[in-house]
Amino acid sequence: MVSGQSTPSARRHDFDALRAFAMILGVLLHASLPYATDGWMVSDARRDERLLIFVSWVHGFRMPLFIFVSGYFTAMLWRGRGLAALLRQRFLRVFLPLILGVLTVLPLQDVLVGWARQRAAAQDAARFAMPGVRSEVVEAIRSGDLTTLQRLLDSGADPNQTDPEFHDPALNWASHYGSAEAVRLLLDHGADVDRSSRGGHRALHSAAFFAHPEVMGLLIERGADVRVRDLEGGTPLKASQGTWPEVKAIAGFLRLPVRGTQEEFQERRTRCRELLRRAGAEGPGPGGTSSDAPGLLARSRQAYREFLASERFLVPGRGRLLGGDPSGRWHLVQTSTFDHLWFLGFLCWLVAGFGIAVTVGSRLGIPALSGAWLLTWKWPLVLVPATLVPQLWMGDFGPDTSVGFLPQPHVLLYYGIFFAAGTLYFESRDADGRLGRHPWVLVAVASLLLFPAGLAMMKSLPLGSGLAQVLFAWLMCFGCLGLFRRYLDRENPSIRYLADSAYWLYIAHHPVVALFQGWMRSWDLDPLLKWALLTVFLLGVLLGSYHLLVRNTWLGVLLNGRRAGSGDRIGPAS
């Protein structure tokens, strides 16, 4: 694998545009999350869950496409300039921006997110205090005021009251807090033991997730269905598989205290699982359906997740976003360190692995691998099974996100396959454009068949869903490759400008999203319209800041290199 020292390859305008497309899709995705889900940096007062379809579609292929392009440019730079130049370029264009982003962009993001959340809390407090909106029963439970709760229930207050913010019934809130006394009061006054939240979660789900065995025992004693399922098919037994960092994250979102240490939590969790099993949570389900006991894959995945969340990765210090462990420790895998800049850390790992591979190969006299097989019918036989292995360890639709200091191994392996495929595609010398030759067909099959199939099978058939997901990712990558080669393979000043700005747009967009989302949260508009307005404001500010503060400054040189005489320049983070 001896490096060539030939003249760098001609500029690939289509690949530059692909890289920009993937980055800007990330900006649009993150701008949609406040209006799609409850669990992001700042959530809007109104949400449209249809946006989750867009989020899943983009997330399923965007970063694999970006990493594939990065592998292509890595091989191009190595062949054109050698390994030393490759490592120097990646140090300047990837590693230094990562460090600067962690030291500047992410602290600014934390400040603006904190401001936006305080503003949202004040707005919600004012809104919930309005007559007919507030839930006095839930407020009494959240404040731990059992005397007021008793008085309200005795005077005829509805024990099934739902809070206006999270739409959880009162019994769920009592279970969130682990208050067996509040649970007993509600049940004694006629609360429905299986009343569900908007997402189908019951009090028993909550007791299992937050590990409250006393509450769980009381709910089971009062007739709670131990095999009940939420809207995603999750049972209380499955809820009991949540990891300690997940519990802390959800508790933070709901503004709940986390009881005790991780060891105490695990001990309570074990008692909850035993109560569920004794009550028949495992075994034939209604109508003679199969057991809810986790299969081999589910058990292996759970053991793997518990390993990644274990204390062996805790070190002294505090994390950026999750605040570290209550004892002041920092989890190297689970604590968010890089946030939306995590992909830069992954590129550092992948380029380091590439450098090791070519160095070892050169010293051993191993010839470079040929990528010609990518241009034939053989590619699915290699890439799909290889990618399916890490995909089966993922959680939601598409690849997991690994934002800790240490990458999660299955995520690194997943992206490593796309990176390697990109390097091999460069080696294939696809002058005729054989890969992605029928782009509209590939995109249509991926989006209209594989994408909905992958979503539909996630809970019932994880192997089939995983297969559909990896095929979706590969077909979208190759389809986008073909589309951009067909329509954007020549110099276009507007596309060139957008490609140059995309790196900055992605690095800087999170604080701006928090700023505008916090400002717009009280606007009484349809969530889709607010998303559109947020996107316009966001791109306007980011492009303006790029033009005025970045493009002709040292920062522009750091991110993109010098523009003068740069016809052979290779993309910044590619």
List the single range of 231-240, 324-333, 547-556 with lowest mean pLDDT.
Answer: 324-333
Residue 13 near residue 490 (C-beta atoms within 8 A): yes
Residue 167 pLDDT exceeds 90: no
**Mean pLDDT for the chain overall:** 85
Report the pLDDT averaged over residues 94-105.
Answer: 95
pLDDT band at 284 (very low <50, low <70, confident <90, very high): very low
**Domain residue ranges of the chain, discontinuous segments joined by +:** 13-118+340-560, 135-280, 296-333
Q: Which amino acid is at 506?
A: Y
pLDDT computed for residue 226 by the predictor: 84
* Residues 6+ positions from 21 with CB-CB distance below 8 Å: 65, 480, 484
Which position has the higher pLDDT, 46 or 393?
393
Residue 308 pLDDT exceeds 80: yes
Tokens, residue 283? 């075994």
pLDDT computed for residue 78 by the predictor: 95
Alpha helices in 260-370 (DSSP H): 262-278, 296-308, 342-364
Q: Which amino acid is at 512?
A: V
Report the pLDDT averaged over residues 205-227.
Answer: 90
Residue 100 near residue 562 (C-beta atoms within 8 A): no
Taking CA atoms, 453 is separated from 229, 436, 446, 462, in Å, by 21, 22, 10, 11
Q: What confidence tens digit (pLDDT) does each residue in 501-530 have?
A: 999 999 999 999 999 988 998 888 999 999
Kindly report the three-state secondary structure assignment for every residue of 395-409.
CCCCCCCCCCCCCCH
Q: What confidence tens digit (pLDDT) does each residue in 102-146 have?
A: 999 999 998 998 888 888 777 766 665 555 556 888 888 988 889
Which position has the higher pLDDT, 127 or 338?
338
Which position has the higher pLDDT, 228 or 216?
216
pLDDT band at 574 (very low <50, low <70, confident <90, very high): low
Report the SS3 class of residue 331: strand
CA distance 539 to 536: 5
List the single range of 88-97, 174-183, 324-333 with lowest mean pLDDT.
Answer: 324-333
pLDDT computed for residue 134 by the predictor: 63
List the single range of 75-89, 356-370, 435-449, 475-489 with lowest mean pLDDT.
Answer: 356-370
Q: 135-280: which CATH topology?
A: 1.25.40
CA distance 41 to 105: 15
Which position has the higher pLDDT, 129 or 368?
368
Which position has the higher pLDDT, 346 or 255?
346
Tokens, residue 190? 């006629």
pLDDT band at 241 (very low <50, low <70, confident <90, very high): confident
Percent of the chain with pLDDT over 90: 48
* Residues 6+ positions from 181 with CB-CB distance below 8 Å: 146
Which position has the higher pLDDT, 565 or 113?
113
